[in-house]
Structure 1
């Protein structure tokens, strides 16, 4: 199945898919650059991980058809979250690999994909007019 067939029949599917992929790239960049010097409560970064992956998965629900295409996107996001954690431990001196971050990422993906079971799943499609 080609990538175009995996997308919902949106007005500008290439634009929306490009913006989504740009968000994925932005997430990778932000996760591998040095963290900002903020004093946050311990463990609060898990909320950030959850929200980032929830938003990516929920927006994927808006773009991709249900079934296999959406499951592949979800699996890809989970693997991305795990891969970024390994990369943080292996490629950076300012970040550490944290399995709890990967778990928060995964829970965020699952929660975002769960929006496919709600009436909100076609919100972007309704903008088609």
Structure 2
């Protein structure tokens, strides 16, 4: 993890976001406007958010790479679970692709000054 003040709090907050995605992915689909490919945009933006948040919490390099791979695998596993464990959801490989693209999009924040926003906004007491 990055040298954050209250690292357990930030890790816990990130894990709550991941858990929320799991719960929402396996629950009944929420009603919403009928936007062409709208759910693909939701997948992309959700996983981009998870990934960008991970950039704030985890050190660059191998730790962040592992988290990114884990998020991609989570997206694939949830799609399989939707197709096999739920009655009102269906598996769609395009959703898994949108999830993976979102992870990649979120990782792009490592190339910006925003990558250490949380480190600088809430400095640690080192």
Q: TM-score range by the shorter chain?
A: over 0.9
The residue that corresponds to 2:32 in the other structure is 38
TM-score of the pair, normalised by structure 1: 0.92
**Aligned residues between the structures:** 123
Q: Aligned to 1:101, what secondary structure does the other structure show? A: helix
What does residue 90 of structure 2 align with? Answer: 96
Q: What is the deviation of 1:42? A: 3.0
* Structure 1 position 111 matched with structure 2 position 105: yes
Q: Distance in 2 between matches of 1:99 and 1:78?
A: 12
Residue 9 of structure 2 corresponds to which residue in structure 1? 15
- Please list every run of at least 4 consecutive aligned residues from structure 1 whose deviation after the TM superposition is greater than 6 angstroms: none
Alpha-carbon separation, structure 2, partners of 1:32 and 1:45: 14
Q: For the residues of structure 2 that align with 1:21 and 1:81, how far apart are their CA atoms?
A: 15
Matched, 1:59 2:49: no
Moved more, 116-125 or 37-46: 37-46
TM-score of the pair, normalised by structure 2: 0.94
Q: CA RMSD in A?
A: 0.9
SS at match of 1:122: helix
Q: Unpaired segments of 5 or more residues in structure 2?
A: none
Give the alignment partner of residue 18 of structure 2, picking from 9, 24, 46: 24
